[in-house]
Amino acid sequence: MKTSFVIIFLIFQLVGFKLHASESDNSIQILLINATNQDMPWQKSVELGLRKELSSRNYGFDLFVENMDVGRFNEGAQKHIVGTYLKQKYKNKPIDIIITQSPSAAALLSELTDFYATVPRIYLEPGAQFTLPKHIKGSIIQAKLDYKQATLNAVTIAKPEKLIVILDTKNDIGLNFYQSLLPIISEHFSHLEIENWFDIPAEELINKVQAAPKNAIILFTPIFRRYDNKRQSPYQFVSILAKNSRAPIFSYWHVLLGTGVVGGYMLSGDKIGERAADAVIYYYNHGKLKPLNGENLSAHYYDWRQLKAFNFDTITLPKGSSVLYYTPTYFEQNKTLIYSAFAIIIILSSCLGFVLYLNNKRVGLLNALDLEKLKLESRVEQRTEELVIAKEEAEHLATVKSDFLANMSHEIRTPMNGIIGLTDILLEDNLPQKHKHLLDKIKYSSDQLLVVINDILDFSKIEAGQINLEEYAFSINSVVDYITTMFESQAIDKGIEFSVVVNPKVPTSLIGDIVRINQVLLNLCSNAIKFTPYGKVLVTIEAEPFTEQSNATLLHFIVKDSGVGIAEQNLPTMFDSFTQADSSTTRKFGGTGLGLSISKRLCELMNGDISVTSTQGVGSEFTATMKVLVDKQPKPEKAKCGVFKSSVDVLVVDESVLALNTIDKQIKALGLNCTICISAEQAIKQIKSKHYKVVIADWGLHKKGNESLFVKLNELSVNKPGVVILMTQLNANAIFDEAKALNIDAVLQKPLKDKLLFEVIKSNLDNTAAAPSKGTNTLLSGLSILMAEDNAINQLIVTDALEKRGGKIHIVENGLECINALKTQRFDLILMDIHMPIMDGVEATKQIRKHSEAHIANIPIIALTANVMEKDIAFYMSLGVNAHVAKPLKTQTLISTILQCAQSANPSLNNDNSEY
């Protein structure tokens, strides 16, 4: 049976040998013979050092590795089998140099007198007794380990009373340690109690190590053992010993670091491999081997985990020691998170304490009421009422849960409005970059917390079955516009490509819940961009007939990215609640783990589903399927903007090719001639050769490369453009003053909106002396706004936002003051907080709508509140509120809502502001 195995093994090796026959004849042909098997870490480290050094010095080589495996089989038998195998396999193979590793391999090669007798040989660690055979060209690297110094360092660090040596004397490796190490220990460390544990079976050795006293140290030399019916390498066996050892274990091999040994003055296999590679290269260049020495092949290496486990001070380590596997404390890793959590806990604890106080008062009142009922009602009536109460409590459990979440949401959103609003105000000021960076971090953290709150509320509503899908007519083009507007600038900032492709088979006019469809796409696209460091994100929209309903179709939204991907084992749980691909505390991207779960539930409510395929390191592909109705009588879409009757030459300058292509399409859709340039130099050259009435340029070109496009435009004597429009992704107000100083006619926020772009170009062409863009600081010009709000921080935030845009604001602190102010002064609109002292927003709205004077009763009212539950919003609207804006306030949403309500009440107001 053994003979058959050997024959089959030889056949496969010979076939493998032939596969290498086509390799380059110019490369160095190296044969490496190891004494142990290919899984031994020491052999791997030597081979790795050899390969790395040869590759780093750009020498072509073919390395053939053969392993004797004497650790698991009888050494004598293996020498015979491997010797026969080598002669057969390499019978006709040219070899330039042979390298042996360990005494057994050196002994084997010495016995093969007719095996490549003229080929030079390098013997790595052949043993102290080895001598170079006569008539053989060769060099020896006898790694010189200073056993005295290594042992002395271990004794200095641990200060033991006993020295235990684990060693085998029945193989060449162990015998070499025995001959070199034992005399030094006997001579220089006789003042310590010395125990020699030689050739001890595995079970007994494990028990002895477990019983070793704490005041001892164990010196581990490489040994092989069979344990638990498995052959254990030194690397594996020392791991078993170290698990339950009370005494620290030191060793002499660097490769054993990480198994549980403390470390020591260790021999490095990588360095030995590099030394051998240097000898090979010298032979290749000079045709002879140079003498080799075994110096400087060791260094001090220590495992920080073991130093800590045995309370060893790193100060006692030798100078220049390498401490590996350092693990920072949990506090060091999560300092910012801990501080933030502590602050949040304090805030929430205060809220909880107040709630508990009110609850205790409520319980006291209920108890008093129960006592009165006990006196007035019979026992039967009491039991009946208790049953009714219990029944009602059970029926309203979901309502109580929903109310609790709504209240907690309100309590959290109110201070968050202050944090986000004040941060926005500060960011608009001319602060030092360091302070702006810190404010950006605060704003990002606040926005993330708001996402968490919204996710929890959505999840709660879905769990309670309170999500009602709407059915409204919409165009697939509006979906494309939405996701393009939301994510195109994010993709540009990140340097990735973002594109949307609609299959021609997708119907244009549909009926469904576009809000929920956009919510799913918002989650999928934001995840795709978040987890894509480079490359692209592609959204493909396809459709197929819904067989169960003739007037319905299934939409497939396929979001494909080239990002980090998802591990295969995490795919089955991707859509579980509170689950993420990486749930560790050190995960890079964060999140609640609810987004995909909510998206899946929404798709299921729309008779669809979500699926995912992913390859880690390549990217992911999410497919969201939803059923919608096909609108058989579609209404014509309202034109987004006008078209110029006469064509005008427009020059667009931007360093982003993607942005240029997008704006080029927008300009041409307005009926204008568009020329695009990718640099300031190219633009100036183009302007000198042709007159352009309008120049639209990105703010990033200002002072780009010590050249300012806008300064050069002002210096032109001929072909000077009539209108200069600046586009930016920054806050427009932050750069307004500087833009004005550069004689810029308008400032627009990216991404550009078609109608606003049309109006700005038209108004500036009609009157070149007009003020800067209507989209910047005059949106609310002429509007008189009354704000009822008792929170000083909210007053400050809203006042700052409205006054910067030309609005006039008058502030009162409760509903009663609001009604009195309406009697003495005319206002265009009211911003009404709900929770206020004396008279809240609900009561104030009721009285305003009942007022006898029409201009007061019909004034537009916008509710500003942290209450965001659908039933709350529906209640406010039923009172006569015209619109609702949730706290924390988003400035753009607030301004847009004010403009819509004001224009609805007074159509004579400038309609240009409607495209804010």
Sheet holding 649-653, edge to edge: 673-677, 649-653, 694-698, 723-728, 746-749
User: pLDDT band at residue 33, thresholds of 50, 70 and 90?
Assistant: very high
Q: What is the pLDDT of residues 576-589, one digit of tens each?
A: 765 554 544 234 44
More confident residue, 485 or 426: 426
CATH domain 26-145+257-312 topology: Rossmann fold (3.40.50)
More confident residue, 780 or 700: 780
With 90 as the cut, is the pLDDT of residue 23 above it? no
User: pLDDT band at residue 399, thresholds of 50, 70 and 90?
Assistant: low
Q: Name the token pair of 451.
A: 């996402």
Centre a 10 Å sphere on the Cβ of residue 598 and count the other Cβ atoms it contains: 24
User: pLDDT band at residue 778, thresholds of 50, 70 and 90?
Assistant: low
pLDDT of residue 775: 40
With 80 as the cut, is the pLDDT of residue 629 above it? yes
More confident residue, 150 or 174: 150
Q: What is the pLDDT of residues 54-108, one digit of tens each?
A: 898 888 888 999 998 887 788 888 888 998 889 888 988 899 899 998 888 888 8
The residue among 717, 488, 455, 468 whose CA lies nearest residue 592 is 455
Kindly state the average pLDDT of the residues 758-783: 65
pLDDT of residue 321: 85
Residue 762, judged by CB atoms within 10 A of its CB (0-12, 13-18, 19+), counts as: middle
The residue among 697, 702, 711, 692 whose CA lies nearest residue 654 is 697
What residue type is assigned to position 569 of the chain? Q
Q: What is the DSSP letter of 836?
A: -
Q: What percentage of residues in the chain have a pLDDT greater than 70?
A: 83
253-262, 400-409, 509-518, 566-575, range with the lowest pLDDT: 400-409
Query: Measured between alpha carbons, how far is 303 from 263 in angstroms, rounded to an integer?
Result: 6
pLDDT of residue 434: 64
Kindly state the average pLDDT of the residues 695-709: 71
Q: What is the pLDDT of residues 839-894, one digit of tens each?
A: 999 999 999 999 999 889 899 999 988 776 777 888 888 988 999 888 877 787 88
Q: Could you give phi then psi for residue 165, rounded to 5 degrees? A: -115, 120
User: pLDDT band at residue 430, thresholds of 50, 70 and 90?
Assistant: confident
pLDDT of residue 299: 83
Task: Give the right CATH number for 150-251 from 3.50.30.60, 3.40.50.720, 3.90.930.12, 3.40.50.2300.
Answer: 3.40.50.2300
With 60 as the cut, is the pLDDT of residue 11 above it? no
Instruction: Say if CB 530 and CB 487 are below 8 A apart.
Output: no
More confident residue, 70 or 740: 70
Instruction: Say if CB 565 and CB 619 are below 8 A apart.
Output: yes
With 50 as the cut, is the pLDDT of residue 596 above it? yes
Query: Measured between alpha carbons, how far is 466 from 870 in angstroms, rounded to an integer?
Result: 9
Q: What is the pLDDT of residues 742-769, one digit of tens each?
A: 888 888 877 777 777 888 888 788 754 3
With 60 as the cut, is the pLDDT of residue 232 above it? yes
Q: How far apart are the first and last CA of the chain?
A: 86
857 Cβ contact list (under 8 Å, min separation 6): 848, 849, 850, 851
The CATH architecture annotation of domain 784-909 reads: 3-Layer(aba) Sandwich (3.40)
pLDDT of residue 433: 64
With 50 as the cut, is the pLDDT of residue 265 above it? yes
What residue type is assigned to position 755 of the chain? K
Instruction: Cite the DSSP H helix spans in 287-396.
Output: 304-309, 330-333, 335-376, 379-395
* pTM (2 d.p.): 0.37
Instruction: Say if CB 40 and CB 70 are below 8 A apart.
Output: no
More confident residue, 17 or 890: 890
User: pLDDT band at residue 816, thresholds of 50, 70 and 90?
Assistant: very high
pLDDT of residue 247: 93
CATH domain 469-630 topology: Heat Shock Protein 90 (3.30.565)
Query: Measured between alpha carbons, how far is 872 from 865 in angstroms, rounded to an integer?
Result: 10
Centre a 10 Å sphere on the Cβ of residue 178 and count the other Cβ atoms it contains: 17
Query: Measured between alpha carbons, how far is 345 from 337 in angstroms, rounded to an integer?
Result: 12
Kindly state the average pLDDT of the residues 393-422: 67
Q: What is the pLDDT of residues 433-489, one digit of tens each?
A: 667 666 766 765 676 576 667 667 666 666 666 667 778 888 887 788 778 767 876
Instruction: Say if CB 683 and CB 697 are below 8 A apart.
Output: yes
pLDDT of residue 17: 43
CB hemisphere CA count around 584 (13 angstroms): 7
Query: Measured between alpha carbons, how far is 557 from 521 in angstroms, rounded to an integer?
Result: 8
What residue type is assigned to position 497 of the chain? E
The residue among 266, 338, 329, 350 whose CA lies nearest residue 302 is 266
Query: Measured between alpha carbons, how far is 221 from 171 in angstroms, rounded to an integer?
Result: 12
Instruction: Say if CB 191 and CB 90 are below 8 A apart.
Output: no
The DSSP annotation for 674-722 comes to EEEESSHHHHHHHHHHS--SEEEEEGGGTTBTTB-HHHHHHH-SSS--S
Q: What is the DSSP letter of 594?
A: -
With 90 as the cut, is the pLDDT of residue 197 above it? yes
Residue with tokens 């849960």: 401
With 80 as the cut, is the pLDDT of residue 38 above it? no
pLDDT of residue 490: 78
User: pLDDT band at residue 706, thresholds of 50, 70 and 90?
Assistant: very low
pLDDT of residue 637: 46
For 713-759, give the secondary structure using H, E and C.
Answer: HHHCCCCCCCEEEEEECCCHHHHHHHHHHCCCCEEEECCCCHHHHHH
Q: DSSP strand E in 252-313: where?
A: 263-267, 298-303
11-15, 134-138, 307-311, 614-618, range with the lowest pLDDT: 11-15
pLDDT of residue 459: 64
Kindly state the average pLDDT of the residues 394-414: 64
With 50 as the cut, is the pLDDT of residue 129 above it? yes
Query: Measured between alpha carbons, how far is 447 from 430 in angstroms, rounded to an integer?
Result: 22
Query: Measured between alpha carbons, how far is 619 from 634 in angstroms, rounded to an integer?
Result: 38
Q: Could you give phi then psi for residue 552, rounded to 5 degrees? A: -120, 160
Residue 294, judged by CB atoms within 10 A of its CB (0-12, 13-18, 19+), counts as: middle
Centre a 10 Å sphere on the Cβ of residue 848 and count the other Cβ atoms it contains: 21
Kindly state the average pLDDT of the residues 381-392: 79
Report long-range pairs for 253-257 (Cβ below 8 Å, ≥24 apart): 253/42, 253/222, 254/45, 254/298, 254/299, 254/301, 255/41, 255/42, 255/44, 255/45, 256/41, 256/220, 257/301, 257/302, 257/303, 257/324
Residue with tokens 């084992």: 569
User: pLDDT band at residue 5, thresholds of 50, 70 and 90?
Assistant: very low
753 Cβ contact list (under 8 Å, min separation 6): 915
pLDDT of residue 24: 42
Q: Could you give phi then psi for residue 649, rounded to 5 degrees? A: -80, 125
pLDDT of residue 60: 86
With 60 as the cut, is the pLDDT of residue 666 above it? yes
Kindly state the average pLDDT of the residues 125-130: 80
Q: Do domains 26-145+257-312 and 150-251 have the same CATH topology?
A: yes
More confident residue, 449 or 167: 167
CB-based burial, 124-146: b 16+ in 10 Å, e otherwise? bbbbeebeeeeeeebbbbbbebe
pLDDT of residue 777: 57
What residue type is assigned to position 262 of the chain? V
Specify the CATH number of the domain 649-766: 3.40.50.2300
Domain locations in the chain?
Answer: 26-145+257-312, 150-251, 330-434, 469-630, 649-766, 784-909
> Between the ranges 159-168, 285-294, 493-502, 754-763, where is the mean pLDDT highest?
159-168
Kindly state the average pLDDT of the residues 789-802: 86
pLDDT of residue 98: 92
With 70 as the cut, is the pLDDT of residue 22 above it? no
Sign, Cα dihedral of 48, 50, 56, 62: negative
Kindly state the average pLDDT of the residues 715-739: 75
